[in-house]
Amino acid sequence: MSSLRDSIDWFRSHVGPGPRSFLAWWSDALASWLPLRWRVLLGLTQDRLLIQRLDNELQLRWEEAHQMRDIAQVPAPVTSEELQALLSRRLAELPRWLLLPVDSVLHRRLLLPAAAAERLRDVVRFELDRQTPFTADQVCFDARILERREDGQLETELVVVPRARFDVALQALEPLSADLVGVDVAGSDGQPMGVNLLPSELRRAGRAAHRGLHWGLASAAVLALAFAGWQMLDNRRAAADAFEAQMESRSAEARRVSAKRQQLVELTQGAITLDQARASRPTTVEVLEEVTRRLPDNTYLEKLSIEGQRLLLIGLSPEASGLVARLQDSPLWRNPALSGALQPDSRSRLDRFTMTAELIGTSAAAAPAPSATPAPAGDASGASNR
């Protein structure tokens, strides 16, 4: 499931959530398999004729497969018929775009959610008042996506030109302004930025030659491919249904056997763990007997505690500093040591001690050893009074 979710997130971050973004990505992916010459012949390279005003001349450029080619410089003004005569048939049929200099526009970077990719122009319209000193009816604007970030957000760029300056640029191009498909902006490197500042009501549908035939053939290929995929999917679905029916008849018994086997394994592991825990340390009775046998008669215990593998003794004794030696070499514990400093008790005039040790022995390993003073030191509860 995690790999499927990662694939969906990658698809949304690189393609976009809407059907139009998917179709654009899909068509570009198919076209990338064709040689460049074929893409040019089929009109899949988005070629266009760029017109830029330079003083009293018009510079004509051909953008082919994202490559810029200078065609000619003609004196302005020039009519559409004159331009048609200057260009070859292929160049004359290209969509015409006006190219504005970069210093004539205002651009701002914006961070937008991924859902804004489908209606990017409508979304940035609401940002005009905050990002520029103009309103939407005072400017011509467009936006482009610079990067799709890993968190799903879009880094976009808002490009704005005041309406008055835009009208002046169109008037300077007369009488070719009526044939324009769009208005782009030349970046700092001279390459088009990929925006269209021309208002939608002034745009013309520029199409390459035989574009309708190309789209018809592409549509037929898509339909044929979809039908073949649907037929294959239907066959696979029928085979999967038959296999699922066969497996369902056997799965119930297999689940019952698996559940009983798992229950038996858990019971066995629990018994083994319990036996190991019991064998890993001595019993409480053995520890009490060993402590009572080793401590002297003048020593009193206030607390005896066993926490896991740790033995804790708290009590009073006139010879507390020598208790460590008495508890050494026991088969039930190791490393006995005083914890903290001895504290004199004003009432009993004895030293209060706290001693710890690590339990290691078992009932089989515990062996009684002779003691110089084999008298009990306190009661089984761990508390005694003098």
pLDDT tens-digit readout, 161-219:
999 999 888 888 888 888 888 999 988 888 898 899 888 777 765 444 455 656 777 78
Q: What is the pLDDT of residues 122-149, one digit of tens each?
A: 888 888 888 888 888 899 999 999 998 8
Question: What stretch of H or E contains 141?
Answer: strand 139-148
Number of neighbouring beta carbons within 10 Å of residue 261: 10
Query: Under 8 Å CB-to-CB from 246, ≥6 apart: which residues?
Result: none
Mean pLDDT within 345-361: 86
DSSP 8-state secondary structure symbol assigned to residue 192:
B
Q: Quick one: CA dihedral 286, 289, 294, 298, positive or negative? A: positive
The answer, yes or no, to whether residue 4 has pLDDT greater than 50, is no
Sheet holding 106-112, edge to edge: 106-112, 154-162, 139-148
Chain-centroid distance, C-alpha 80: 53
Tell me the domains of the chain and their CATH numbers: 34-214 (3.30.420), 284-359 (3.30.1360.100)
Share above pLDDT 70 across residues of the chain, in percent, rounded to a whole number: 77
Q: How far is CA 357 from CA 17, 95, 229, 277, in A?
A: 66, 91, 75, 18
Q: Which of 247, 198, 252, 235 has the alpha carbon at shortest distance from 48?
A: 198
| CB-side neighbour CA atoms (13 Å) of 3 | 0
Give the tokens for residue 164: 């008055």
Report the C-alpha gap between 5 and 152 in whole angstroms. 14
Q: What's the pLDDT band for 41 if we cut at 50, 70, 90?
A: low
The predicted model scores a pTM of: 0.46
Task: Give the integer Cα–Cα distance in Å for 250 and 306.
Answer: 53
Q: What per-residue confidence (pLDDT) applies to 118?
A: 86
Residue 383 pLDDT: 38
